[in-house]
């Protein structure tokens, strides 16, 4: 059982680490992979239902914040205003406490937290007065991230039923 879970987690980490992507795309790919795999991994373990719910809530909240960040980045405002709004969107999300015996889940949650941190660190300073113009490719990536985050939220709701 532990071997199957570890292999699944390793495959996700490899999938997430492969290829060159922008910071927001990397976060999106991580969330896509983990949101898809978590129900499978959780089903292979004897993880307490409360912990499963905490992880699902974390994934849901992080997907919501990613969708909001995509909308904010594509919208109007200075870089500082956008950075403040995005930071606020992620600020209330608390990493779930997962018992250490579920190392694969702990690793996956750590991967999300790292990617969120990298994304937030990539934002312009909140004192910046510049306004970045997005390229068509960046707008397409943001749109894809927003759609993907919404799809992940729908998939999570389907698992909870």
Instruction: Give the tens place of pLDDT for each residue, 79-120.
Output: 888 889 999 999 989 889 999 988 888 998 999 999 999 988
Distance, CA of 83 to CA of 128 (rounded, Å): 9
| Helical residues (DSSP H) of the chain, grouped into ranges | 2-17, 23-43, 49-74, 79-91, 103-122, 136-160
What angle in degrees, to the nearest 10, is found between the helix axes of 103-122 and 23-43?
Answer: 160
Quick one: pLDDT at residue 9? 44
Which residues, in sequence order, are CB contacts of 58 under 8 Å at separation 6+? 93, 94, 95, 96, 109, 112
Note the pTM of the prediction, 2 decimals: 0.76
């Amino acid at each position: 059982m532990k071997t199957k879970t570890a292999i699944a987690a390793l495959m996700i980490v490899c999938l997430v680490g492969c290829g060159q992507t922008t910071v927001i795309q990397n976060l999106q790919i991580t969330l896509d992979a983990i949101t898809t795999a978590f129900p499978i991994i959780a089903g292979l373990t004897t993880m307490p239902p409360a912990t499963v719910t905490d992880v699902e809530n974390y994934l849901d909240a992080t997907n919501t914040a990613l969708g909001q960040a995509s909308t904010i980045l594509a919208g109007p405002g200075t870089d500082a205003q956008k950075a403040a709004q995005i930071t606020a969107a992620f600020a209330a999300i608390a990493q779930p406490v997962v018992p250490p015996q579920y190392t694969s889940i702990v690793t996956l949650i750590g991967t999300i937290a790292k990617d969120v941190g990298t994304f937030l660190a990539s934002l312009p300073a909140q004192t910046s007065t510049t306004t970045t113009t997005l390229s068509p490719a960046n707008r397409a990536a943001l749109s894809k991230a927003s759609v993907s985050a919404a799809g992940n939220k729908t998939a999570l709701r389907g698992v909870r039923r």
